[in-house]
Amino acid sequence: MTKPLMSKATAVWLVDNTTLSFRQIADFCGMHELEVQGIADGDVATGVKGFDPVSNNQLDQVEIDRGQVDPLYKLKLKFIQSAVGEEKRRGPRYTPLSKRQDRPAAILWLVKFHPELSDGAVGKLVGTTKPTIQSIRERSHWNISQITPIDPVALGLCRQSELDTAVQAAARKKAAEGNVMSDDERRKLVSTEQSLGMAAEPKIPSGLEAFTRDAREERARESKPADFSDAESFFNLPHVDDDEDDDDDE
């Protein structure tokens, strides 16, 4: 444990009950110095009740006394034997209630544009469960027809660095398994600027485009006059029978 429990409430108590500097309180509570100043001005943590770290066995009074005498002194969190070895709870990312309705759109975006990501990686990025991801992959979600894919970074569900790290890890795993990545999957691994600078990929013409092109070339060949400029073509003109010429004279 590197900072006290209820750090903001602890900062409120230290601001109200001690003469410690804003920097000392910020360092001890894991906050920014300007945020502590905002607490003192009444702009931050309005209505938050102070939490006494001394009576709650998180800080010794001796530490406060030393800090009030020396503005450069850094407060030390009290050692708690019961907290030794305590690890952060493992589980899906917490998603605020206001953004939970955006998770299906983010999942659909990840499934569509980054199919190489596993369900576990998608769940860590968006903060959801594997059954929900599976239902969207299989398009069996109850509202799948109304879901529009939206970038989870734009929705604020994860950071761009986290998404890039997950995609690169999935690409390395796929390469280690011996699977060859397609051009589309490789293009997704580069930055936006690099992708925009790439040459356009060759497009296979559709059946209608090929038929129109062939018809246009056929008409061009039919409308082009025969070329008799060379000697061989000139001497190979159609032969006219002499008997037919005599009949015409008569």
pLDDT of residue 46: 78
pLDDT in tens, 201-226: 444 454 555 556 666 776 666 665 55
Number of folded domains that form the chain: 2
Say how far apart CA 167 and CA 135 lie, in whole Å. 21
Q: Are the C-beta atoms of residues 93 and 40 closer than 8 Å to each other?
A: no
What tokens appear for 173 in the block?
A: 């795993």
Low pLDDT (below 70) residues in the chain: 1, 79-98, 178-215, 218-250
What tokens appear for 31 in the block?
A: 């906050």
pLDDT of residue 186: 55
pLDDT of residue 13: 92
pLDDT of residue 196: 45
Asked if 75 and 107 sit in the same domain, the reply is no
Chosen domain end from 150, 179, 196: 196
CA-to-CA dists, residue 188 to 9, 44, 163, 192, 204, angstroms: 44, 42, 11, 9, 21
pLDDT of residue 94: 62
pLDDT of residue 108: 92
CA-to-CA dists, residue 112 to 73, 180, 190, 249, angstroms: 54, 19, 17, 83
Q: Tell me which amino acid residue 94 is.
A: Y
Say how far apart CA 47 and CA 82 lie, in whole Å. 31
pLDDT in tens, 52-74: 888 888 888 998 899 999 989 98
Chosen domain end from 50, 83, 116: 83
Say how far apart CA 193 and CA 168 lie, in whole Å. 18
Q: Are the C-beta atoms of residues 104 and 147 closer than 8 Å to each other?
A: yes
pLDDT of residue 136: 92
Range of the domain at 155: 97-196
Asked if 123 and 173 sit in the same domain, the reply is yes
User: Is the residue at 230 inside a domain?
Assistant: no
pLDDT of residue 57: 84
Alpha-carbon torsion angle 62, 63, 68, 71, nearest 10:
150
**pTM for this prediction:** 0.39
Q: Tell me which amino acid residue 228 is.
A: F
Instruction: Work out the percent of the chain whose per-residue pLDDT is above 70.
Output: 62
Asked if 63 and 131 sit in the same domain, the reply is no
Chosen domain end from 83, 107, 129: 83
